[in-house]
């Protein structure tokens, strides 16, 4: 005969087990009506919640449209010299005025922005490729870790601006003779900036790869004999794409600032090839009489760099699973 105490224990146990049984996930979430969530949709949702990054994204696309579509609308030649229209202020014919040679500042701002942003994108691509390659190889192959990290530390210890000035001074004329003044200078500047800006990306990627090597799916792929190139392309690179994308946005800003600094020092593009940094260099001598010539390119450089940095912050927060899950 069962005692009342035993019945009470059995009923309590069954009641305690009932909520757990109800909390079990359904065998087929799709049939239960659970929505399928995309990782990139979650990233975009988290990115939109970052108001600063969203405003920066709109601002950056506005600048891209200004420098890319603007020259098709405002068709004045940025290199056309009109001595009769020198040093004019704001007018209908020249909305942003003219410089000391009578060249239209609005046309030069649009053309210079196209060159500066192109330098930032190409130099970032070079730095990103080098940094990702060195970071993945250093993190995945143990015997390559020490020499590649010593190489990275060597580049980090070098004074970058004097090194850039030396590279531009030594190779400008040979490249200019083969590719022309504009083409040679563009190739030289993007290469110089790219090969001196990959170190941070390499260290970030290496750290992520070292953490991925101990994950279960990597160990399982190794246990079935997956070759190293296939392992890197199929399993490692897709899982380090987030820090690479964040480093890409920050690399654009760094490249634009570096190109502007070189042009401001007179070691960038030729005088008839406008960039934002070159516009600053040309306007310094008459800064007191015509301050807007310095303010306008400086403002565009600052807004572009600030917007790219905010986009990078938004991507970093959106791609962090600890924040995205909130």
Neighbours of 144 (CB within 10 A): 13
Pull the structure tokens for residue 31: 């049939």
Residues 6+ apart with CB under 8 A from 55: 310
11 in a structural domain: no
92 in a structural domain: no
Q: How far apart are the first and last CA of the chain?
A: 54
pLDDT at 163: 84
Pull the structure tokens for residue 142: 């143990």
pLDDT at 110: 92
With both helix axes pointing from N to C terminus, report the angle between 105-140 and 276-283 in degrees, rounded to the nearest 10. 130
pLDDT at 66: 92
299 in a structural domain: yes
pLDDT at 320: 63
The CA–CA distances, whole Å, from 306 to 62, 141, 310 equal 14, 37, 6
pLDDT tens digits for the chain (326 residues)? 444 444 444 444 444 444 444 444 444 443 334 334 566 777 778 778 778 888 999 999 999 999 999 889 888 888 888 888 888 888 888 888 888 888 889 999 999 889 889 998 999 999 999 999 999 999 888 888 899 999 999 988 888 888 888 888 888 888 888 888 888 888 888 998 998 889 988 998 998 888 888 888 888 888 888 888 888 888 888 888 878 888 888 888 888 888 888 888 877 787 778 888 888 888 888 888 888 888 998 899 999 999 988 888 888 777 765 555 44
- Number of domains within the chain: 1
Please report, for the domain that includes residue 226, its CATH number: 1.10.3720.10
Tokens 């060249």 locate to 103
Look up the pTM and report it.
0.77
80 in a structural domain: no
276 in a structural domain: yes
31 in a structural domain: no
Residue-range definition of the domain harbouring residue 268: 37-74+102-324
With both helix axes pointing from N to C terminus, report the angle between 241-264 and 292-318 in degrees, rounded to the nearest 10. 170
Whether 94 and 104 have beta carbons less than 8 Å apart is answered as yes
20 in a structural domain: no
Neighbours of 224 (CB within 10 A): 6
175 in a structural domain: yes
Q: What is the 3-state secondary structure (H, E, C) of the chain?
A: CCCHHHHHHHHHHHHHHHHHHHHCCCCCCCCCCCCCCCHHHHHHHHHHHCHHHHHHHHHHHHHHHHHHHHHHHCCCCCCCCCHHHCCCCCCCCCCCCECCCCCEHHHHHHHHHHHHHHHHHHHHHHHHHHHHHHHHHHHHCHHHHHHHHHHHHHHHHCCHHHHHHHHHHHHHHHHHHHHCHHHHHHHHHHHHHHHCCCHHHHHHHHHHHHHHCCCHHHHHHHHCCCCHHHHHHHHHHHHCHHHHHHHHHHHHHHHHHHHHHHHHCCCCCCCCCCCHHHHHHHHHHHCCCCCHHHHHHHHHHHHHHHHHHHHHHHHHHHCCHHHHCC
């Amino acid at each position: 005969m069962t005692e009342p105490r035993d019945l009470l224990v059995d009923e309590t146990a069954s009641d305690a087990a009932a909520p757990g049984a109800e909390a079990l996930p359904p065998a087929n979430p799709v049939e239960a009506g659970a929505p399928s969530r995309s990782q990139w949709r979650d990233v975009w949702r988290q990115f939109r919640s970052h108001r600063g990054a969203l405003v920066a994204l709109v601002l950056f696309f506005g600048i891209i449209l200004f420098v890319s579509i603007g020259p098709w609308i405002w068709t004045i030649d940025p290199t056309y010299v009109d001595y009769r229209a020198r040093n004019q202020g704001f007018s209908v014919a020249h909305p942003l005025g003219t410089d000391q040679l009578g060249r239209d500042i609005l046309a030069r701002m649009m053309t210079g922005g196209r060159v500066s942003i192109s330098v930032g994108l190409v130099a970032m691509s070079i730095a990103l490729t080098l940094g990702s390659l060195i970071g993945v190889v250093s993190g995945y192959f143990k015997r390559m870790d020490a020499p590649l990290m010593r190489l990275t530390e060597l580049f980090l210890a070098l004074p970058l601006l004097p090194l850039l000035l030396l590279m531009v001074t030594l190779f400008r004329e040979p490249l200019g003779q083969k590719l022309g003044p504009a083409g040679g200078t563009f190739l030289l500047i993007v290469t110089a900036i790219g090969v001196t800006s990959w170190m941070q990306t390499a260290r970030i990627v290496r750290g992520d790869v070292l953490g991925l090597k101990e994950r279960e799916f990597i160990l399982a792929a190794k246990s079935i004999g997956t070759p190293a190139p296939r392992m890197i392309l199929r399993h490692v690179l897709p899982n380090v794409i987030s820090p690479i994308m964040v480093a890409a946005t920050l690399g654009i800003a760094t490249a634009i600032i570096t190109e502007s600094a070189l042009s401001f020092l007179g070691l960038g593009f030729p005088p008839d090839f406008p960039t934002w940094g070159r516009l600053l260099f040309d306007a310094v001598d008459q800064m007191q009489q015509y301050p807007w010539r310095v303010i306008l390119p400086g403002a565009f450089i600052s807004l572009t760099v600030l917007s790219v940095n905010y986009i990078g912050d938004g991507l970093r927060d959106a791609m962090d699973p600890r924040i995205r899950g909130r």
